[in-house]
């Protein structure tokens, strides 16, 4: 089984590659090769028991080497994130729309229609703090990133209907705690208010503490994406999108959990107004009822405090090293 990861240099791409290298198999089948694609050549996972090829390039002008003809699984993770897509409309359209179109075109040339696992987003919905959305809720995005993700879902569903590929789109919650450096996502502060204090650094909070967010851990996101690569899609019918079972928490609950794990750390978080970020995240729903995901076998989420402890165990030291901070 050959697998391609588009966005293989991102933190989820790296984690998926590391899991594949550790297991050597997916859905009970041995992995024969892995292609990692990103703007710059991604670093291969250590000790992979199969050949790994790094391919650099532009997603909107996707090189054929990014999805070799024998590829059976494509993880399409590459994207321009929320705040950046809102600030640079042309860039967001180029990467998030034309890039997904380019993925479909390459998959049409494959020797067999590959499974495409697409990272969509809860930003493709609106409704705000009072919303608790069911699986049949309409996608009415309140930002360009969400609109581009919703369009990507429809393009991939139609390509699946036509037999060009076999898509599963995962509407990921905000993934926390992101390791490494801050990124351009509007939701970046949700990771930062936990990650930065754990590093001994201050963090800015642009929303009130009673603000609720729909989140998941990197570990659970990877589990869901790998599960999406292996499930039977016939029961999904024309609807190839799934809202996985994240958890709804308030900022205040996050800070309480942080304080429980690392006493005194929450004092490093301070309110700072950021109207642009606050306006984007204010439209995102605070909670979902992901009944379809449970039916399809997606695993439930772990408690918030376990999420924080997992970051400390797995990602805190590498994040310190990446950012040149003393231990």
Cα separation, 56 vs 36, whole angstroms? 8
* Residue 235 phi, psi (nearest 5): -65, -15
pLDDT band at 326 (very low <50, low <70, confident <90, very high): confident
DSSP per-residue string spanning 174-206: EE-SPPSS--S-TTHHHHHHHHHHHTT--EEE-
For the chain, domains (ranges, CATH) are 2-124+134-173+217-246 (3.40.50.720)
pLDDT band at 186 (very low <50, low <70, confident <90, very high): confident
The one catalytic residue among 37, 125, 145, 189: 145
Mean pLDDT value of segment 218-239: 97
Q: Provide the token pair at 133.
A: 């959305």
As a whole-number percent, the residues of the chain with pLDDT over 70 amount to 100
Query: DSSP state, 114?
Result: P
Residue 145 a catalytic site member: yes
Residue 16 in this model has a pLDDT that exceeds 90: yes
pTM for the model = 0.95
Measured on CA atoms in the order 252, 255, 261, 264, is the torsion positive or negative? negative
Cα separation, 74 vs 52, whole angstroms? 14
Residue 4 in this model has a pLDDT that exceeds 80: yes
DSSP per-residue string spanning 23-51: H-EETTEE--EEEEEESSPPPPPTT-SS-
Mean pLDDT value of segment 104-121: 97
**What is the tens place of the pLDDT at every residue in 58-69?**
999 999 999 999
Q: Provide the token pair at 154.
A: 């429809």
Mean pLDDT of the chain: 96
Place of tokens 């929303």: 207
Cα separation, 176 vs 238, whole angstroms? 31
Residue 327 in this model has a pLDDT that exceeds 80: no
According to the model, what pLDDT value does residue 120 have?
Answer: 98
Q: Which helix (H) or strand (E) holds 107?
A: helix 99-108
DSSP per-residue string spanning 158-178: HHHHTTS-EEEEEEE-EE-SP
Residue 57 in this model has a pLDDT that exceeds 80: yes
């Amino acid at each position: 089984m050959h697998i391609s990861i588009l966005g293989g240099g991102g933190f989820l791409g790296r984690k998926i590659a590391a899991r594949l290298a550790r297991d050597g198999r997916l859905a009970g089948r041995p992995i024969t090769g892995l292609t990692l694609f990103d703007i710059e050549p991604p670093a291969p996972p250590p000790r992979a028991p199969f050949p790994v090829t790094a391919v650099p390039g532009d997603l909107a002008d996707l090189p054929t080497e990014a999805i070799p003809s024998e590829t059976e699984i494509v993880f399409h993770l590459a994207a321009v994130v929320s705040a950046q897509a809102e600030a640079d409309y042309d860039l967001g359209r180029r990467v998030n729309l034309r890039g997904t179109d380019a993925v479909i075109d390459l998959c049409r040339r494959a020797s067999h229609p590959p499974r495409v696992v697409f990272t969509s987003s809860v930003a493709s919905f609106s409704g705000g703090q009072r919303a608790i959305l069911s699986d049949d809720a309409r996608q009415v995005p309140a930002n360009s990133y969400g609109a581009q993700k919703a369009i990507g879902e429809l393009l991939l569903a139609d390509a699946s209907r036509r037999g060009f590929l076999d898509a599963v789109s995962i509407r990921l919650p905000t993934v926390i705690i992101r390791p490494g450096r801050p990124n351009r996502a509007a939701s970046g502060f949700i990771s930062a208010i936990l990650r930065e204090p754990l590093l001994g650094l201050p963090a800015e909070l642009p929303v009130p503490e009673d603000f609720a967010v729909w989140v998941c851990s990197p570990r659970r996101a990877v589990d869901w994406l790998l599960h999406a690569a292996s499930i039977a899609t016939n029961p999904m019918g024309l609807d190839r999108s799934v809202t996985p079972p994240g958890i709804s928490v308030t900022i205040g609950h996050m800070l309480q959990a942080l304080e429980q794990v690392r006493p005194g750390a929450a004092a490093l978080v301070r309110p700072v107004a950021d109207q642009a970020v606050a306006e984007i995240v204010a439209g995102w729903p605070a909670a979902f009822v992901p009944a379809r995901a449970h039916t399809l076998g997606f695993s439930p989420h772990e408690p918030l405090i376990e999420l924080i402890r997992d970051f400390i165990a797995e990602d805190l030291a590498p994040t310190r090293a990446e950012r040149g901070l003393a231990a």
